[in-house]
Amino acid sequence: MKSAAVLILILLAGNASACPLSKAVIDRYGISDGGILSPPPRTTANAAPSFLQFTLTDSALTSDGFRNTLFVDRQAGRAWLRRTGGFGRVREWYGPIDVDAHSLDGCRDDAELRRAEQAAMAREVAESATRRNATPRIP
Asked which of 8-17, 42-51, 82-91, 117-126 is least confident by mean pLDDT, the reply is 8-17
Say what the pLDDT of residue 5 is.
Answer: 45
Considering only residues 82 and 13, tell me which one the structure prediction assigns the higher pLDDT: 82
Considering only residues 36 and 129, tell me which one the structure prediction assigns the higher pLDDT: 36
Q: Which residues contact 48 (CB under 8 A, 6 or more apart)?
A: 71, 73
Asked whether residue 14 carries a pLDDT value surpassing 50, the answer given is no
Omega before 136 cis (within 30°)?
no
Say what the pLDDT of residue 107 is.
Answer: 84
What is the percent of the chain where pLDDT is above 90?
18
Say what the pLDDT of residue 114 is.
Answer: 67
Omega before 139 cis (within 30°)?
no
> Which pLDDT band holds residue 63 (cuts at 50, 70, 90)?
low
Give the mean pLDDT of 44-55: 80
Say what the pLDDT of residue 11 is.
Answer: 46
